[in-house]
């Protein structure tokens, strides 16, 4: 029996469910301190998407930061090149808003696989991402893309770094008209322009998109990217994880760090992606490492807990008079035995409503 199934869905119970899921696949728990060297974040600033770093001086004068990201710390600490490092984490990260007036503590869970990333490892991590979405929501979708296809097409277009970044932004915003204007301004070959525009708009179940993707093959990089997407999807189909998968290149990620499959998870009722991940061998290269890596993070602060369920802490409010409370405890106990959440107060709190309010007097409960 799943003990966690009986808990209401909230941030804490979802974290427990996610931990249980990752442990079931044999991932080790990664724990870290609240602080990290500021230099680690500074050197990899582009990897940290948004959010200002909160810094302070350590006792020895070193500049430290409140932990803003967990992946970088895992990569820094994963030493053994010969055996895969398979870890998960549930940690709070800290970010300041742009005006730095607002510091937030954000609960995050995630999985990282560092080592020789083979086809099975890739599909296992994506399967875990899908199961993570299923853990936190009943209606969810996973957008799947491949940086190899994006990079391969941009190589053929012959764009400079600035133009590559502009084109990637258009793909991420599904702004085919902007991409077309950029290609025409730069005199890009018509066939490549069409393929890039198609890449920015393609969306749907993989089996409906693979023909379109195959028509975008222009070199080895694009060919192996499409083949990898096909292989991963076939593997997800084998285990019944394929229904929620959509081909969608708007989830393409940073070109400096990500090099293979990238994905984002969306749940109904949340306006932003709640899960983001992919293959990030390029980040490892920045640490002087030759192995590969794939992983994802789940942003629990974005889930719509506050919009579902009962906001009140109790179902029933009992108002009592301190001079006339004989038998109150037993009356509350009786209600609680029937599964009712009871809150007893000697005075009403303005502005808070409960499903039912009862008054305790003369040794028994009365309707208010």
CB 240 within 8 A of CB 231: no
Judged by beta carbon, residue 206 or residue 292, the one nearer another protein is 206
What DSSP state is assigned to residue 174?
Answer: T
Q: Rounded CA gap, 46 and 64, in Å?
A: 18
Question: Is residue 250 near another protein by the rule CB under 8 A?
Answer: yes
d(CA 210, CA 192): 18
How many alpha carbons fall within 13 Å on the CB side of residue 263?
A: 31
Q: How far apart are the first and last CA of the chain?
A: 40
Q: Does the protein bind another protein through residue 173 (CB under 8 A)? A: yes
Regarding 141 and contact with another protein (CB under 8 A), the answer is yes
DSSP-derived letter for residue 338 is T
Question: Binder to another protein among 30, 257, 266, 280 (CB under 8 A)?
Answer: 266
253 near another protein, judged by CB under 8 A: no
164 binds another protein (CB under 8 A): no
Closest CA to 346 of 361, 364, 363, 366: 361
Identify the CA nearest to 118 among candidates 296, 295, 294.
Answer: 294
Indicate whether 263 belongs to the interface with another protein (CB under 8 A): no
Nearest approach, Cβ of 302 to another protein (angstroms)? 10
Neighbouring residues of 141: CB distance < 8 A, sequence distance ≥ 6: 244, 245, 246, 265, 266
Q: Is 248 in the site for another protein (CB under 8 A)?
A: yes
If one asks whether residue 166 binds another protein (CB under 8 A), the answer comes out as: no
Instruction: Note whether 177 binds another protein by CB under 8 A.
Output: yes
**Complex with another protein: residue 165 or 175, whichever CB lies closer:** 175
The SS3 assignment for 25 reads: coil
Contact between 270 and another protein (CB under 8 A)?
yes
Q: Is 112 in the site for another protein (CB under 8 A)?
A: no
What is the three-class DSSP state of 183? helix
Q: Where are the beta strands (DSSP E) in 250-314?
A: 261-267, 275-279, 292-299
User: Interacting stretch for another protein, rule CB under 8 A, among 78-86, 107-115, 260-268, 331-339?
Assistant: 260-268
Site membership for another protein, residue 246 (CB under 8 A):
yes
CA 208 – CA 248 distance, rounded (Å): 12
Per-residue DSSP letter, 154: H
Tell me the HSE value of 117 on the side-chain side, using a 13 A CA sphere.
Answer: 24
The residue (of 271 and 322) whose beta carbon lies closer to another protein is: 271
Q: Which two tokens stand for residue 230?
A: 């096909």
Q: Work out whether 277 is an interface residue with another protein (CB under 8 A).
A: no
Is residue 268 within the footprint of another protein (CB under 8 A)? yes
Residue 199-218 contact track with another protein, rule CB under 8 A, x = bound: ----xx--------------
357 binds another protein (CB under 8 A): no
The number of C-alpha atoms within 13 Å of 116 and in the hemisphere containing its C-beta is 4
Looking at 168-176, 188-196, 208-216, 276-284, which segment touches another protein (CB under 8 A)? 168-176
Q: Which of 20, 29, 76, 139 binds another protein (CB under 8 A)?
A: 139
Q: How far is the CB of 271 from another protein (least distance, A)?
A: 3
351 is an interface residue for another protein by CB under 8 A: no
Q: Which of 143, 152, 292, 295 binds another protein (CB under 8 A)?
A: 143
Q: Which residues bind another protein (CB under 8 A)?
A: 139, 141, 143, 173-175, 177-178, 203-204, 246, 248, 250, 266-268, 270-273
């Amino acid at each position: 029996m799943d003990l966690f199934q009986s808990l209401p869905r909230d941030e804490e119970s979802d974290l427990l469910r996610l931990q249980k899921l990752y442990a079931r696949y044999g991932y080790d728990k990664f724990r870290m301190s609240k602080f990290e060297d500021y230099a680690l974040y500074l050197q990899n600033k582009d990897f940290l998407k948004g959010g200002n770093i909160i810094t302070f001086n350590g006792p020895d004068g070193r500049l430290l930061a409140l932990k803003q990201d967990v992946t970088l710390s895992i990569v820094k600490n994963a030493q053994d090149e010969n055996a895969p490092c398979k870890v998960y984490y549930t940690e709070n990260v800290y970010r300041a808003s742009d005006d730095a007036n607002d510091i937030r503590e954000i609960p995050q869970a995630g999985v990282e696989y560092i080592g020789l990333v083979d086809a099975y490892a890739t599909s296992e991590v994506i399967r875990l991402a899908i199961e993570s979405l299923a853990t936190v929501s009943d209606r969810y979708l996973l957008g799947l893309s491949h940086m190899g296809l994006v990079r391969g097409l941009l190589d053929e277009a012959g764009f400079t770094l600035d133009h590559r970044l502009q084109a990637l932004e258009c793909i991420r915003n599904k702004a085919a008209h902007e991409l077309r204007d950029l290609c025409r301004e730069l005199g890009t070959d018509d066939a490549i322009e069409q393929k890039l525009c198609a890449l920015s708009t393609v969306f749907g179940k993989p089996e409906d998109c693979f023909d379109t993707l195959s028509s975008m093959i222009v070199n080895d990089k694009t060919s192996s990217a499409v083949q990898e997407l096909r292989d991963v999807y076939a593997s997800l189909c084998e285990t019944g994880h394929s229904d929620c998968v959509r081909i969608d290149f708007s989830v393409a990620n940073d070109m400096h760090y990500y090099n293979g499959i990238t994905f984002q998870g969306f749940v109904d009722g949340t306006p932003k992606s709640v899960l983001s991940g992919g293959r990030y061998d390029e980040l490892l290269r920045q640490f002087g490492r030759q192995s590969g890596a794939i992983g994802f993070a789940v942003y629990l602060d974005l889930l719509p807990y506050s919009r579902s369920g009962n906001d009140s802490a109790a179902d029933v409010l009992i108002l009592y008079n301190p001079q006339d409370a004989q038998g109150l405890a037993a009356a509350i106990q009786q209600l609680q035995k029937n599964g009712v959440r009871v809150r007893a107060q000697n005075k009403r709190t303005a502005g808070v409503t409960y499903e039912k309010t009862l008054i305790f007097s003369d040794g028994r409960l009365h309707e208010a």
